[in-house]
Structure 1
């Protein structure tokens, strides 16, 4: 039947209904806390942004955060919300002080939306303002007012207290992970030297700003001491490492713009022009920026972001009617970096040598690179290895954070995933067998090896990850010896040539069940031996147990459970101090006798299998 289209079919949602019906518009993806960009961390960030904005305006040097199971509280010591407006700023859309640029000149929260989103998406939400010896408290649940306390006197210091518990009906089985919160807090301190953030008894503070950030994030030794350049509205830290790709950390008014934007484009352009002018040579862009690691933090008035989650800057000007970000960046980098290189000839010499080495390697593979690009372009018109999806990460679609690509082994596994996937947001790339071991090889191998070249083209990462087509790159191999080997070969490839993909949190391992335990009434999918034992206890002695040896053995009808809302992904991470180079050398290098001895000495025989 065709639905009758009339006046009765048109509805106007109130603010909380709209947020709860379309949460992705306000906080990106939902998630359960497994990943750093899941919605529960965005809720915390929306609250923290207001507190950090107070610090940036010169009020309150400390922020106290407490996390207890599912409840989060944030107390700042800023000016405190004006008491007569506590209810409005908590529950009226487009209400806030940040429309007045005189009060909040260079803040993040500009649209009066963030704190309302936290309110609407929380089962329990409290805002209490302390201002000039008086306090006002309001309590909500799912956006509905529960309590509005009268104004009372207080001895508490000025500031604002926010407490919330995310709504479990929206964030199913959620759990906060301390490491993601700590990473978020450290970024705030790097961008606000002197700010102290107290989290569950630990204090986080930075004295050196972006220098500390790069020192924390770099997994390779820098070729020369980090260059630090700054003025009131712009801070840049930059160096080079012996690695492929480009690695950037960009911020606007303290907001981590993980997808870059106009400020990153301006920096990359300004950096290249300054280097060319300094050495008086028209170096290729890729040679200048190969191996670069940089952090850029800019402060602008009334920034425009491409979405409420503020991950990409769209503004072109430093302020309404002011200079363009491009011109400001160009003048700043030209003056500051040029002066630094003239005063530090040793650094200039090391940088020059790095550029020449990149140029030499690029020219050595230019022929094969051109042929590979042409081949990939032709194949992309009908790439049998790639079953693409409709929405991509480099689009402006509201579901772009959900986009993923599964890298599978063989036709049977890719067939099951292809039939079970969501064609809107999930793509599949099929390997024909075990890929090449790329350990110790140069970038040339990426173009010479057809499979890796097509994978690079499918991900759209040859020129960097700014135009990456999928938010999650998922290695989906069997949980057997061959599958583990293929997984390691792929990890070696990404670590060697695209480490920025890992450092930006885009690479994952798909966890699939090892066992199915069921009877006529219940079915349990078990990912570990312990889960299998517990499932058998629940079902009893008549349990039917199936051991999944490969992804191809799992039917598409079952597979959709494992790659849908209950998908289990293990993020691949790189941190300073990780011995990944040593591990790669041991497992993937040319030391077969050493590995053989290791296997013999550590071999465990499962007697139940005999």
Structure 2
């Protein structure tokens, strides 16, 4: 029995706003991270400041935003909106629940409604500066970890607007580094959703004339789509979609300019309304799967007082578009029933091509129905004694308190899986062991998923046969050796997921496990190093009599050691598709027949490597 602690007035403690944010940063910005993942906290800090500038543009104030990311980790954002009222500059960035967004007359459909965003940035920055420009006067305030250090007011010739500069606190964000690609992707999203807005990142202009039409045009090979992109716009809603030749469903969704990477009620409403509208148009009860297979779509809505399921706003929970307005389902359904139905009547060639795509999906589904039934029966029997899967207790599709922490490691062979299995957290970490090199499934049909026992058992372990709604693990982690064979297996698995389940990647569930390449130690201390540079640095720190071990495979790392690499300090590299990624082109380049482009790349880079060796 635990020892009782005295519980009286002295045990009750009140934290001020900045102490609470610094003590529980995850409540405000999600995970911390070092910048390797696009959802790490340092990017949330940038987003929170940018959102305020975007809200100004949405209200018709300012058509330009300037963003600078400097090498020392310093970020500055300057907009040309109305500027914070000078008398409230300090309050707006240092007093919780203070802001202009509570007044719906001023900000009717903004992203940040909770009055916390810039306060969190302020509290979590070693240096924070805010400057407002209004009608020839400017107010400047500087802070350190949320504490006001200086403020003053003076005359200015600068145009109206707001300037924010900050440096994330290195004590909270350990060894962080901004990846400009992640910021660039977010800026592209912002300009697609705000036609006419120019955002400059380190001097380079980002601009969109046609909104979500441009977004899809830049993400797919337009020439390989089954029909031209359908672009529909209405009050507070914009939709663009087409069908390609891939499997799965690929969506990008937004609410009030915020990329809802985990979807939510608006995306669910679109998926349902699309099926109903198409069934009604053709007068046929097509299967929902056949209608949505191979779709690529972007959906954006603007709602009043949005309710998100987390502070980082990645999933919409609102059931209505406004407190007294229509439900999300009826709002989207009415829009599609009117706009899409009219579009298909006016564009018979598009309607014909869309129907051909649906019929093709239906035919393919029926062709593999028998194979699927047999494969599922085999998988069901195998699951009873499935030696490939060492499951965990918490699953992503359950109500378990640790559902978000669930992950599965896909390993090569029993040797590697043995080390992970013995050192894993059985509550949240599962292991799936491959028998050997999986099949290169590029350009193969989905029939191969059911005919190949390895693939079939893997899709059943993940529970993704019918989409991601019942995905069993939040993180699907490829854990292969850092050698040529391991890299080849990694590529084959990536091809499998990108070919048949691209939404697993686009929704941010697929990762690569990073494990140390070297162990550097002496009798007193041990360093695990993930690169040659880290190894050299560790050798310098330890001095003489150093033992260096090169890990050739995961099986060489003992379970006791492995526990350190898959625990709190686990290093995961997210598999991500950037805004400009053409999936078909990507797979063709790496996994197709030896294309001249790939041969040229190998020859050129091999020559560079040989030249470097010769110089040394």
- 1:37 is aligned, of 39, 48, 68, to 39
**Aligned-pair Cα RMSD in Å:** 2.8
Q: Is the contact made by 1:24 and 1:398 (CA closer than 8 Å) also made in structure 2? A: no
1:200-239 to 2 correspondences below 5 Å: 200-218=202-220, 221-239=224-242
Taking the aligned partners of 1:46 and 1:360, their CA distance within structure 2 comes to 47
Q: 1:182 to 1:88 in 2, by over 3 A?
A: same
Q: Is the contact made by 1:439 and 1:496 (CA closer than 8 Å) also made in structure 2? A: yes
Which is worse superposed, 185-194 or 372-381?
A: 372-381
Q: Is the contact made by 2:226 and 2:242 (CA closer than 8 Å) also made in structure 1? A: yes
TM-score relative to the length of structure 1: 0.91
TM-score relative to the length of structure 2: 0.90
- 2:144 is aligned, of 141, 152, 165, to 141
Q: Does 1:341 align with 2:348?
A: no
Taking the aligned partners of 1:424 and 1:93, their CA distance within structure 2 comes to 37
Q: 1:494 to 1:303 in 2, by over 3 A?
A: same
Aligned positions, number? 597
Which is worse superposed, 536-545 or 35-44?
A: 536-545
How far has the Cα of 1:391 moved from its partner? 4.7
Taking the aligned partners of 1:512 and 1:48, their CA distance within structure 2 comes to 35
- 1:120 is aligned, of 120, 123, 146, to 123
Q: Is the contact made by 1:20 and 1:120 (CA closer than 8 Å) also made in structure 2? A: yes
Partner of 2:505: 502
Taking the aligned partners of 1:516 and 1:52, their CA distance within structure 2 comes to 48
Q: Is the contact made by 1:236 and 1:296 (CA closer than 8 Å) also made in structure 2? A: yes
How far has the Cα of 1:14 moved from its partner? 2.4
Partner of 1:63: 65
Partner of 1:586: 593
1:382-393 to 2 correspondences below 5 Å: 384-389=387-392, 391-393=394-396
Partner of 1:164: 166
Q: Is the contact made by 1:33 and 1:175 (CA closer than 8 Å) also made in structure 2? A: yes
Q: 1:378 to 1:322 in 2, by over 3 A?
A: farther
Q: 1:394 to 1:352 in 2, by over 3 A?
A: same
Partner of 1:359: 362
- 2:324 is aligned, of 308, 318, 321, to 321
Deviations 1:533-573 (A, max 9, x none): 55445545532222222211101222233234543333434
Q: Is the contact made by 1:62 and 1:195 (CA closer than 8 Å) also made in structure 2? A: yes
Taking the aligned partners of 2:154 and 2:454, their CA distance within structure 1 comes to 69
- 2:451 is aligned, of 441, 448, 473, to 448
Taking the aligned partners of 2:49 and 2:425, their CA distance within structure 1 comes to 33
Taking the aligned partners of 1:9 and 1:60, their CA distance within structure 2 comes to 50
Q: 1:165 to 1:189 in 2, by over 3 A?
A: same
Taking the aligned partners of 2:25 and 2:107, their CA distance within structure 1 comes to 27
Which is worse superposed, 49-58 or 134-143?
A: 134-143
Q: Does 1:86 align with 2:89?
A: yes
Partner of 1:310: 313
Taking the aligned partners of 2:363 and 2:119, their CA distance within structure 1 comes to 55
SS in 2 for 1:99: coil
Taking the aligned partners of 1:462 and 1:101, their CA distance within structure 2 comes to 44
How far has the Cα of 1:189 moved from its partner? 0.1
Which is worse superposed, 68-77 or 464-473?
A: 464-473
Taking the aligned partners of 1:580 and 1:475, their CA distance within structure 2 comes to 18
SS in 2 for 1:520: coil
How far has the Cα of 1:263 moved from its partner? 0.5
Partner of 2:186: 184
Deviations 1:458-502 (A, max 9, x none): 323223234434343221112234323322321221122112223
Structure 1 residue ranges without an equivalent (≥5): none
Partner of 2:270: 267
SS in 1 for 2:368: helix
- 1:557 is aligned, of 555, 560, 577, to 560
Q: Is the contact made by 2:141 and 2:152 (CA closer than 8 Å) also made in structure 1? A: no
- 1:174 is aligned, of 165, 173, 176, to 176
SS in 2 for 1:98: coil
Q: Is the contact made by 2:262 and 2:507 (CA closer than 8 Å) also made in structure 1? A: no
SS in 2 for 1:64: strand
Taking the aligned partners of 1:38 and 1:180, their CA distance within structure 2 comes to 10
Q: 1:204 to 1:330 in 2, by over 3 A?
A: same
SS in 2 for 1:97: coil
Q: 1:55 to 1:211 in 2, by over 3 A?
A: same
- 1:457 is aligned, of 453, 456, 460, to 460
Taking the aligned partners of 1:534 and 1:310, their CA distance within structure 2 comes to 40
Structure 2 residue ranges without an equivalent (≥5): none
Which is worse superposed, 118-127 or 133-142?
A: 133-142
Q: Does 1:20 align with 2:25?
A: no
Taking the aligned partners of 2:216 and 2:194, their CA distance within structure 1 comes to 15
Partner of 1:6: 7
SS in 1 for 2:138: strand
